[in-house]
Structure 1
Amino acid sequence: MIRRSRLDITIEILNIAMHGAKKTQIVYGANINSTIANGYISMLKEKELIEQRDRIFRTTDKGREYKEIASELQLR
C-alpha cells in the first residue's frame, strides 16, 4: 500500500470541494477519517484555500491556483 503525502491529500480535498461538498463527501472522496479531515479543513480554511458556507465547503480562487500549481509540480 502506497502512503499518500500531505500534498496529495490536500489536492484531493481541493478537487472534491471545487463545486461544493459536505464534510462527509470530503471524508469518503479523499478516503480519510473524520479527525484527519478536520485537521486538513482547518488548515485549508486558515490559508484561505477553502471556504465554508453553512455545511458546504468550496475551494476558493486562491485554492484553485494552489491546486493547479501543486499538481504541475508533483513528480510522478
Structure 2
Amino acid sequence: SCYDNAAAEAFFASLKTEIGTRIFTTRAEARRTVFAYLNYYNHNRLHSTLNRQTPYEARVCYRPATALAA
C-alpha cells in the first residue's frame, strides 16, 4: 500500500535526521544507537498525527469502534 510506504519513508527520514548518517565503528554501536532512538521514538516523541501522543500511548489507549447488533 502506498500509505504504508509513506509512513516507513517518514520514519527513516526522522531516523536519519536524528542520529545522522555517520559511519559507526562497530555493528554493536550502530545497534545501540538505533535501538536507543527507537525507544525514544516510541515512548517520548510526540506525534502530531496521533493527537500529540507517543506511539506507545496511542497503541495502549486505542479502542476500536464496535458495531452495534441490529
Q: Same fold (TM over 0.5)?
A: no
Structure of larger gyration radius? 2
Normalised to the residue count of structure 1, the TM-score between the two structures is: 0.29
Higher strand share: 1
Q: TM-score if structure 2 supplies the norm length?
A: 0.31
